Amino acid sequence: MKNSYLTIIMAFCMVTPRVYCENHIKIDSVVIKKAPWHILPPVDVTCINFEDDISYKEYRISDSIVISDIVRELSCLKESQGKSLDVRCKIYFYSHGKAYMSACMDSYQVLYDGALYLLSPSLKKKIDSLIKNSTSRKPLNKGVHAKREFPFPNGRDSLYSYLQTRSDEFIKKIEKTVALTVHCQIDSHGNTIKVTIRNRDNTTPGDDVKELVTILTEVFMNDIKWIPNKERFPRDFVSIPIRFMVEGDDIK
Share of the chain above pLDDT 90, in %: 65
What is the predicted pLDDT for the residue at 66?
A: 93
Q: Closest Cα partner for 205 from 179, 170, 183?
A: 179
SS3 189: coil
Same domain? 164 vs 45: no
Same domain? 142 vs 208: no
Query: From CA 53, how far away is CA 39, in angstroms rounded?
Result: 12
Model pLDDT for residues 212-241, shown as the tens digit of each residue: 999 999 999 999 999 999 999 877 889 999
Q: Is the pLDDT of residue 155 over 80?
A: yes
Same domain? 7 vs 100: yes
Here the contacts of 212-219 (C-beta below 8 Å, separation 24 or greater) are 212/170, 212/173, 212/174, 212/178, 212/180, 212/244, 213/180, 215/169, 215/170, 215/173, 216/170, 216/180, 216/182, 216/242, 219/163, 219/166
Model pLDDT for residues 189-212, shown as the tens digit of each residue: 999 999 999 999 999 999 999 999
What is the predicted pLDDT for the residue at 50?
A: 93
Q: Closest Cα partner for 131 from 51, 32, 56?
A: 32
Query: From CA 121, how far away is CA 123, in angstroms rounded?
Result: 6
Give the structural domain span for 19. Answer: 2-146
Do 241 and 179 contact (CB within 8 A), yes or no?
Answer: yes
What is the predicted pLDDT for the residue at 4?
A: 39
Boundary of a domain, candidates 128, 146, 164? 146
- Is 137 or 25 the better-scoring residue by pLDDT? 137
Q: Is the pLDDT of residue 251 over 60?
A: no
Same domain? 40 vs 137: yes
Task: Look at residue 151 and tell me if it is in a domain.
Answer: no
Same domain? 220 vs 117: no
Q: Is the pLDDT of residue 17 over 80?
A: no
What is the predicted pLDDT for the residue at 184?
A: 95
Task: Look at residue 250 and tell me if it is in a domain.
Answer: no
What is the predicted pLDDT for the residue at 68?
A: 92
Boundary of a domain, candidates 146, 171, 202? 146
Share of the chain above pLDDT 70, in %: 84
The DSSP line for 73-116 is: HHHTPPB---S----SEEEEEEETTEEEEEEEE-SSEEEETTEE
Average pLDDT of the chain to the nearest whole number: 85
pTM exceeding the 0.85 threshold for the entire prediction: no
What is the predicted pLDDT for the residue at 25?
A: 66
Same domain? 33 vs 105: yes
Same domain? 96 vs 63: yes
Task: Look at residue 120 and tell me if it is in a domain.
Answer: yes
Domain total in the chain: 2
Task: Look at residue 251 and tell me if it is in a domain.
Answer: no
What is the predicted pLDDT for the residue at 33?
A: 97
Amino acid at position 8, single letter: I
Same domain? 139 vs 191: no
Read off the pLDDT of each residue in 133-142 and give the average, rounded to a whole number: 73
Same domain? 93 vs 184: no
Read off the pLDDT of each residue in 144-150 and give the average, rounded to a whole number: 59
Boundary of a domain, candidates 101, 123, 146? 146
Query: From CA 66, how far away is CA 129, in angstroms rounded?
Result: 11
What is the predicted pLDDT for the residue at 233?
A: 83
Model pLDDT for residues 3-12, shown as the tens digit of each residue: 433 333 343 4
Same domain? 68 vs 105: yes
Task: Look at residue 249 and tell me if it is in a domain.
Answer: no
Q: Is the pLDDT of residue 108 over 50?
A: yes
Give the Å distances, CA to CA, from 242 to 109, 207, 216.
37, 18, 11
What is the predicted pLDDT for the residue at 38?
A: 94
Task: Look at residue 240 and tell me if it is in a domain.
Answer: yes
Same domain? 56 vs 101: yes
Same domain? 131 vs 22: yes
CB count in 10 Å sphere of residue 193:
12
